[in-house]
Amino acid sequence: MGAWQILAGLGLLFLILEMTVPTMFFLNFAVGAFVTAICAIYIFNWYALTIIFVAVSMISLIFLRPLLVKQTHKSQETGLAAKYIGKTAKVIETVTPNSGVISIYDERWEARSDHEIPQGSEVIIERNESLVMYVKERE
């Protein structure tokens, strides 16, 4: 069995580990193993291959992992937070601490605010509690 086959198998093992423990950690070692497997076709010295594996894995860990983790966290934002919070809506019935209605995406939502916001104003949605949006006046 050649060195490249062993390293390719190691890369597959790291990919399987990444699928079972999705931490974006083992993926870096899989990248290192696959790059080293390609190098092993031309390089036959195990010391050189070990250095290549460690170097590529560390470079991947330092540069690739933060990008992947950031992208993963961004895509996990779902539901009301992703669709409404921080967005601009229009007041269609005066918003007070006890009543009011806003419109966003052609949807009608109950709304509340610390102070009165007149009909026709634009507001920013700060948070929601159940089916009530809490808003502040847009500056």
Domain residues of the chain, as ranges? 3-75, 80-137
- Sequence-ordered list of residues with C-beta below 8 angstroms from that of 37, at least 6 positions apart, any chain: 3, 4, 5, 7, 8, 11
88-120: pLDDT as tens digits = 999 999 999 999 999 999 899 999 999 999 999
Given pLDDT bands bounded at 50, 70 and 90, which one contains residue 16?
A: very high
CATH T-level assignment (fold) for domain 80-137: OB fold (Dihydrolipoamide Acetyltransferase, E2P) (2.40.50)
- Sequence-ordered list of residues with C-beta below 8 angstroms from that of 135, at least 6 positions apart, any chain: 89, 91, 95, 102, 111, 112, 113, 117, 123, 124, 125, 126
29-48: pLDDT as tens digits = 999 999 999 999 999 999 99
pLDDT of residue 73: 60
pTM metric for this prediction: 0.53
